[in-house]
Amino acid sequence: MSSSSSRRRTSPTAHRRAAGVALAGVAALVAAAVQSGTASAAPAPHPVKLVPAHVAVKLTPAQRAGLIRDAAGATARTAKDLGLGAQEKLVVKDVVKDADGTLHTRYERTYAGLPVLGGDLIVDTAHGKTARVLKATKAAVKVASLTPKVSKATAEQQALQRARTLGADRATVDRSSRQVIWAASGTPVLAYETVVGGFQDDGTPQQLHVVTDASTGKELYRYQGIETGVGNTQYSGQVTLTTSQSGSTYTLNDTARGGHKTYNLNHGTSGTGTLFSQSSDTWGNGTTSNPATAAADAHYGAAVTWDFYKNTFGRNGIRNDGKAAYSRVHYGNSYVNAFWDDSCFCMTYGDGSGNADPLTSLDVAGHEMSHGVTSATAGLNYSGESGGLNEATSDIFGTGVEFYANNATDKGDYLIGEKIDINGDGTPLRYMDKPSKDGASADSWSSSVGSKDVHYSSGVANHFFYLLSEGSGAKVINGVSYNSPTSDGLPVTGIGRDKALQIWYRALTTKFTSTTNYAAARTGTLAAAGELYGTTSAEYKAVQDAWAAVNVGSRSDGGGGGGGGGGSTFENSADVQIPDYGSAVTSPITVTGRSGNAPSNLQVSVDIVHSWSGDLQIDLVAPNGATARLKNSGYDPTPDVHQTWTVDASSVAANGTWKLRVQDLGPGDTGYIDDWKLTFP
């Protein structure tokens, strides 16, 4: 097929006016038709060049702070645009910017000045207009009364009793209970949030958050604010450390990475401790006889974790603000664990059984600091399925850190804590290729998985990530043998760890909210894969297949899968001629067998044959008549349209007749609708 571009350029009546480009990849479904014609602007001298839309750009701390400041200055208008109530206000938490200018702004919410737990949301803005909103709760945030019937003292006593029942030592109210709106499950209610301090039964500091209904006194939710994990206790060999020197004194202060400092608690359990300092810049001797050995491992692990996030995702520190956390080593006495504490923004390492095996290696640092990344982004609640996703995120990125380091002493693997040997039998704590090998973790999703400890419910996502990275079946990687099964007995072909990490990170930072469960994680990772690689790509299909292999949703061909989610595609391949410079034509697809509303990430794939694609204006029309503008007409002499859009169609019923509406708004060229599809992830 030939293009008439040369004729176009010699005909003064055939100039194309530039129109607002609506190819950001997300189109909001609205209740009325939008933008019936082209926008008026000066003629474009060259065809519009599209850049990869859904790649996050690297922002300097100052650029990120500026975007947050801009968003904060517009929160009142944003709240009004979103239809929030008069007593609701938004608080900006984070902003991610894509290459095409799309902004993903993450907000917390307040109601009558009270924090709304589970009220967080993400607003995607493209070309100055809201393109999509993801909410942790779909319920309207409002309560009948702001006057509690249960006293704060009663809520605190109940929280203390709960902590003691769970085996807490020296449980005390860590900070005074605060009134909140609990919106993470069901109808929002007035509640108290009480934080209980003290120590857990293994010596880990405690920050038990207990949410109590302020009207009935019923416990609504609880989670542990201290997020713990375990890792490789084998040292990383001889490594290069970035330190600071003042006169003849060296300190473990990494000014190249936000000023990360490493402190010695000297077996204490509180405070910062003492900054490691000495007259030599050689730290430790490779054994526990020198306290600086553990410090060197922790300092190295923090540096590699920083570099992993910066060089893999363009993230500038845990909070993406260029500022470092800090590390504390030699915590407690024979403490067999390590933990991240968001309140101090710090990493803490125990010395292991008999103070003989400090937990200060790469996967520990990567795992624990990734809890900080999760806290700064999605804020996944540390309980139930969202807690499993929180813990799995740390396993996934901790594994990424270990592979990224490429350290000959500690080669990358998909085993969690393989060197600690807590059980005394040489086995890892967790296996990503087959989580159930630890005797407690889930290989695949079931309706009861959310009731497991988060370290075991994480198995579903860990298994998904392994399958997405490496595929199913037997293989040997870095000398370790794996044999990963699937819940449906069908094979999965991996796409490589690098791509799997990119998909998980984009989902975490732009799709997940505090209440995301496994079904929603599937939706989020599919949206991320579609944005990064396209919805018809091998990567997108691999995400579908890997989730189906852990019993969440259907395979890319519509088979397999289970209760965690479902997927199907509807298609119309009948040709529909598009009249030149004429009225709009439509092509219908009838959707049946779906329950409830359409999803927030409905995939619309369009194939049109046309000799001048800039002529075309394309809309999706829902069964109730609502429309979503997929493409405006504008100057673009390239032929044909082969594009997939993601549409938030969650406000309309799924079943019914959907239509693709296409109109040619310029003279001189013709074409036809060749094929189009609706995919319900």
Please list the active-site residues: 368, 455
- List, in sequence order, every residue forming a beta bridge with 2; answer none if it has no partner: none
Tokens, residue 412: 């990358």
d(CA 107, CA 76): 12
Q: Which residues contact 456 (CB under 8 A, 6 or more apart)?
A: 388, 435, 438, 440, 441, 442
Which one-letter amino acid corresponds to residue 512?
Answer: F
Q: Which helix (H) or strand (E) holds 213?
A: strand 208-213
**Pairing label, strands 121-126, 26-28:** unpaired
- Could you tell me which of 22, 13, 4, 7 has the C-alpha nearest to residue 43? 13
- List, in sequence order, every residue forming a beta bridge with 589; answer none if it has no partner: 658
Q: Are 650 and 607 in contact (CB under 8 A)?
A: no
Cα–Cα–Cα angle for 648, 644, 628, rounded to 5 degrees: 40
d(CA 653, CA 650): 8
d(CA 202, CA 571): 57
Task: Compute the half-sphere exposure of residue 600: CA atoms within 13 Å on the CB side of its CA.
Answer: 18
Tokens, residue 113: 């000045």
d(CA 379, CA 401): 21
Residue 431 — φ and ψ, nearest 5°?
A: -120, 125
d(CA 78, CA 84): 9
d(CA 566, CA 557): 12
**DSSP per residue over 82-123, as a string?**
TT--TTEEEEEEEEEEBTTS-EEEEEEEEETTEEEET--EEE
SS3 sequence of 170-195: EEEEEEEEEEEEECCCCCCEEEEEEE
- Long-range contacts formed by 125-130: CB under 8 A, 24+ apart: 126/22, 126/24, 126/26, 126/100, 126/101, 126/102, 127/20, 127/21, 127/22, 127/24, 127/101, 129/28, 130/28, 130/81, 130/82
- Could you tell me which of 633, 628, 640 has the C-alpha nearest to residue 664? 633
Which one-letter amino acid corresponds to residue 191?
Answer: A
- Could you tell me which of 151, 158, 191, 190 has the C-alpha nearest to residue 173? 158
Q: Are 611 and 586 in contact (CB under 8 A)?
A: no
Residue 659 — φ and ψ, nearest 5°?
A: -130, 140
DSSP for residue 662 = E
Tokens, residue 542: 């691999």
**What is residue 408's three-state secondary structure?**
coil
CB atoms under 10 Å from CB of 274, counted, come to: 11
SS3 sequence of 534-601: CCCCHHHHHHHHHHHCCCECCCCCCCCCCECCCCEEEEECCCEEECCCCCCEEEEEEECCCCCECCCC
Based on the number of CB atoms within 10 Å of its own CB, is 113 exposed (0-12), middle (13-18) or buried (19 or more)? Answer: exposed
- Could you tell me which of 169, 233, 228 has the C-alpha nearest to residue 422? 233
